Structure 1
Amino acid sequence: MSLVMTSPPAAEPVTVADIKAHLRIDDSDEDILLASLLLTSRMHIETALSLALITQSWTLRLDRWPRGRSLELPLAPLRAVDEVRVKDASGAANVVSAESYLVDLAARPARLVWNNVVPPAPQVPAGGIEIDLSAGFGADGESVPAPLKHAILMLAAHWYEHRDPSEIGTNGARIPDSVSSLINPFRTIRL
């Protein structure tokens, strides 16, 4: 299974002006660094939580369908399954009719459930199934929950203050506990 971004978010959940206010910076000398820290912080939090904060598009690639009638989709909050394709023996991707499945957006994680049909089997040994997904809280930062926006600000501020290279696993490389506390309610718990 692989998940590939096909369309990045059009905006960031927080702006350079937001982080400058958070850090009490008045000049614009470090705006490029701050923008980079915000991007990195957003990506870190999205990866840690399997979330998409701002609406973005992804393609999920599978070798074969899992057993059972449903497939858990690994990105939240899922907005839509845009298309499902299965490759034939020549490698051509054929679109699966949307009437063949339903998308359970209320489930966490969201699921693709087959409508009393057997899903078409891919005819290639690897990457024979492609599912186009749209995920995110909304098109701009206003739709992102405030605790996640604050976690981005705090993480960017932490990395701004701790610029020295540090070895992974040391205290200097640790994510602050306050950031973890803010994002924990958004973590998917698996039993």
Structure 2
Amino acid sequence: MCNMMLIEQTTVPMEALPLKRFKDHLRLGTGFADDDAQDLLLEALLRAAIGAIEGRTGKVLLVRSFTWTVMAWREAGRQSLPVAPVSAITELRVLDRLGAAQVIDPEAYLMVRDTHRPRLAASGMLLPQIPLGGRAEVDFEAGFGVDWAAVPADLAQAVFLLAAHYHEHRHEAALGDGAMPFGVMALLERWRTVRVLGGGAT
């Protein structure tokens, strides 16, 4: 049975997407009657590529808010978070089996920054105990930045290459289907981490 769940609470706003730069990458013209329809397609391609890159690397490209639910800590005093980079933990709650929640004092925990595996750690010896049948919910902010300029160059290029691949093959399959092109995989290699079920430490 799965003992964790990650929910994206906010989405990437349209203005944060590099739509014009992607058009330049594709060498598409402007000023046509169907520009609006084209923009909707390109936005969908970019979002699909971003989602695929984030899923493959565990790195959040543009800042969003997340809630992570876990049924048991992997370690008594610390717990790796499921994605990176994490800029802040905004709230930690412990819920009993009936759903009654206790908000944990921020002084009782801290966030350990790490490029690949940020962690929630106890300020003392132990993280708050999760009751039998209960769960912990961690609200946090993750992402390299709020605009495209903050995304590392190799990840940004990987998004463009993958989105262009989707554009080229858009009539052949649903967005995101199939293996990633070799060039994209090469750009992602240094960002990939071993994904451990439940966010355990590596």
Give the TM-score category using the shorter length: 0.7 to 0.9
Shift of 1:137: 0.6
Letter matched to residue 143 of structure 1: A
Letter matched to residue 48 of structure 1: R
Once residues 99 and 93 of structure 2 are traced to their aligned partners in structure 1, the CA distance between those partners, rounded to angstroms, is 11
| Alignment check: 8 A CA contact 1:155 1:176 kept | yes
Once residues 14 and 111 of structure 2 are traced to their aligned partners in structure 1, the CA distance between those partners, rounded to angstroms, is 27
| Alignment check: 8 A CA contact 1:52 1:75 kept | yes
Q: Which residue of 1 aligns with 2:187?
A: 182
User: Structure 1 residue 8 and structure 2 residue 11: aligned?
Assistant: yes
| Alignment check: 8 A CA contact 2:60 2:143 kept | yes
Shift of 1:102: 1.8
Unaligned 5+ segments in structure 2 are: 196-201
Shift of 1:116: 2.4
Query: Residues 146 and 153 from structure 1, CA distance in 2 versus in 1: closer, same or farther, beyond 3 angstroms?
Result: same
- Secondary structure (helix, strand or coil) at the match of 1:8 reads coil
TM-score by length of 1: 0.87
Q: Which residue of 1 aligns with 2:157?
A: 150
Taking the TM superposition and a 5 Å limit, the aligned residue runs for 1:53-72 are 53-72=61-80
TM-score by length of 2: 0.83
Once residues 2 and 89 of structure 1 are traced to their aligned partners in structure 2, the CA distance between those partners, rounded to angstroms, is 16
Q: Which residue of 1 aligns with 2:92?
A: 84
Q: Which residue of 2 aligns with 1:48?
A: 56
Once residues 160 and 180 of structure 2 are traced to their aligned partners in structure 1, the CA distance between those partners, rounded to angstroms, is 13
| Alignment check: 8 A CA contact 1:100 1:117 kept | no
Aligned-residue Cα RMSD (Å) equals 2.2
Of 83, 99, 102, 1:94 maps to 102
Unaligned 5+ segments in structure 1 are: none
Once residues 12 and 136 of structure 1 are traced to their aligned partners in structure 2, the CA distance between those partners, rounded to angstroms, is 16
Deviations 1:27-81 (A, max 9, x none): 3252221111011001110111111111111011011222331100111011111
Once residues 13 and 49 of structure 1 are traced to their aligned partners in structure 2, the CA distance between those partners, rounded to angstroms, is 20
| Alignment check: 8 A CA contact 2:97 2:133 kept | no
User: Structure 1 residue 173 and structure 2 residue 181: aligned?
Assistant: no
Query: Residues 163 and 115 from structure 1, CA distance in 2 versus in 1: closer, same or farther, beyond 3 angstroms?
Result: same
User: Structure 1 residue 17 and structure 2 residue 25: aligned?
Assistant: no
Corresponding pairs, count: 186
